[in-house]
Amino acid sequence: MPRTSDKRERLITAGRERIDSKGFNRTTLADIAEASGVALGNAYYYFRTKGDLLDAVFSAETDDFRERIAAIGKHGSPRARLQAFLDSVIDSKEPIARYGRPIGSLSQEMNKSSGSSRARANEGLILRAQWASEQFRAMGRTDAQDLGVWLIASIQGVIFMANAMADPDVVERQVGQLKA
């Protein structure tokens, strides 16, 4: 039998998967509880509202991105780090084509509402643009901020198109263009 602390993590994992595939507004806490194998009453013990769970999902997404860039940081040059980042997008082409990516989708969905969830959703994209800008700045580019925003916006566009076309090869071809 899973430990109690595992229940919270299972709820977050199921929340990420359900929100990724159905969107935040179409996902209920009951859906997430069922998918996680945690009783709904226990889900409310860990997350009083679906918004509280969403905050945990945002934190998990941010933690994953930070781990990803920490691993990418081992590449010697900023150019190599940017190339590795783009490779990591290509490596995710199958789920991208199927579901899009939660950070962009959530940002778009939450921007139609107000409150802290809107700001939290945008933090993920802004964090990515800041990281990319730092890489361009380290390359000596005076337009580093614009390039960082351009790169992340371009990746998000590729993600939206690959998802719309349900074609993982779109990711590989278009991100390949960005790499060039």
Helix (H, G, I), strand (E, B) or coil at 56: helix
Q: What pLDDT score does 1 carry? A: 45
Give the model confidence (pLDDT) of 132-157 as tens digits.
999 999 999 999 999 999 999 999 99
What is this structure's pTM? Answer: 0.84
Q: What is d(CA 32, CA 22) in angstroms, rounded to the nearest whole number?
A: 11
Rg (Cα) of the chain, in Å, rounded? 17
Q: What superfamily in CATH does domain 1-48 come from?
A: Homeodomain-like (1.10.10.60)
Per CATH, the number for 57-179 is 1.10.357.10
Residue 3 has pLDDT above 90, yes or no: no
- Return d(Cα 152, Cα 158) in angstroms, integer: 10
Give 119's pLDDT tier (boundaries 50, 70, 90): confident
DSSP for 117-169, please give it: HHHHHHHHHHHHHHHHHHHHHHTT-TTHHHHHHHHHHHHHHHHHHHHHHT-HH
Cα–Cα distance for residue pair 139/77, rounded to 1 Å: 8
Q: Encode pLDDT of 8-62 as tens digits.
A: 999 999 998 888 878 888 889 999 999 999 999 999 999 998 888 988 988 888 8
Among the ranges 98-107, 123-132, 146-155, which has the highest mean pLDDT value?
146-155
The stretch 114-131 carries a mean pLDDT of: 81
Distance CA 96, CA 92 (A): 6
Both structure tokens of 148: 């960082």
Q: For residue 90, what are the contacts with CB-CB under 8 A and spacing of at least 6?
A: 171, 172, 175, 176
Q: b or e along 100-126 (b: 16 or more beta carbons within 10 Å of the residue's beta carbon)? A: bbbbbbbbbbbeeeeeebeebbbebbe
Show me where the domains of the chain are located.
1-48, 57-179
The answer on pLDDT for 4 being more than 70 is: no
Please write the tens of the pLDDT for every residue from 154-178.
Answer: 999 999 999 999 999 999 999 999 9
In whole angstroms, what is the distance from residue 144 CA to residue 140 CA? 8
Which residue would you say has higher pLDDT here, 51 or 83? 83
Structure tokens belonging to residue 164: 């719309």
Burial class from Cβ neighbours inside 10 Å (0-12, 13-18, 19+) for residue 132 reads: buried
Q: Which residue has the higher pLDDT, 179 or 2?
A: 179
Q: Residue 176: which of 153, 155, 148 has the closest Cα?
A: 155
